[in-house]
Structure 1
Amino acid sequence: MTIKQSEQDKNGVFKAVIEDQEVGHLEYAWLGSKTLSINHTEVNPDFGGQGIGKKLVLAAIDWAREKNAKIKPLCTYAKAVIDKSAELQDILA
């Protein structure tokens, strides 16, 4: 599986791809120059239970850290992933 990130204007997406098929995505938006919101995370039900959603959230967190940005997790799934891990608390806006 590969994760591809793309962005247009203030909106972006991380896509999980297996053999040229998108199996999940995470949508985000910039709220300013240093804060982004994770708005939605979705995984194709046929690929559920493989940790794809969590990998998308972690990829977004790694990318935000590279950008010295903070995250506001509006997506309940992303919020749950972050809330369960003490080492991810620093990313919260």
Structure 2
Amino acid sequence: MKVIHENDVKNGFLGVEADGERVALMTYTWAGDKMFIIDHTEVSEDYGHKGFGMIMVESAVEFARAQGVKIYPLCPFAKHIFDTVRSFDDVL
């Protein structure tokens, strides 16, 4: 398993590669230079319930902390994670 991250001034994505293919994807859009909006998360049906969604959220949180920015979780999956994992509150 490998986590990938691409970012530019307008948007970016985090993904998980397994068995040589991308099996999970989380996209985000920048809202200015101090916040990004997680707008979509998907995991391939064959790889569901393996924690890849959480891995991408954790990677987004680490990125936000390193950049000193906030996250707005618009995606229902990401919002659910942020609503339940209180240790991520510092990036909201």
TM-score (norm 1): 0.94
Give aligned pairs, total: 92
**How many Å apart are 1:20 and its aligned residue?**
2.0
**How many Å apart are 1:8 and its aligned residue?**
3.5
Aligned sequence identity (%): 35
CA RMSD of aligned residues (A): 0.9
Q: Segments of 4+ in structure 1 off by > 4 A?
A: none
* Distance in 1 of aligned mates of 2:16 and 2:63: 15
**How many Å apart are 1:68 and its aligned residue?**
0.3
* Distance in 2 of aligned mates of 1:45 and 1:80: 19
Equivalent runs, 1:16-27 vs 2, <5 Å: 16-27=16-27
In the alignment, structure 1 segments of 5+ residues that lack a partner are: none
Aligned to 2:39: 39
Aligned to 1:53: 53
In the alignment, structure 2 segments of 5+ residues that lack a partner are: none
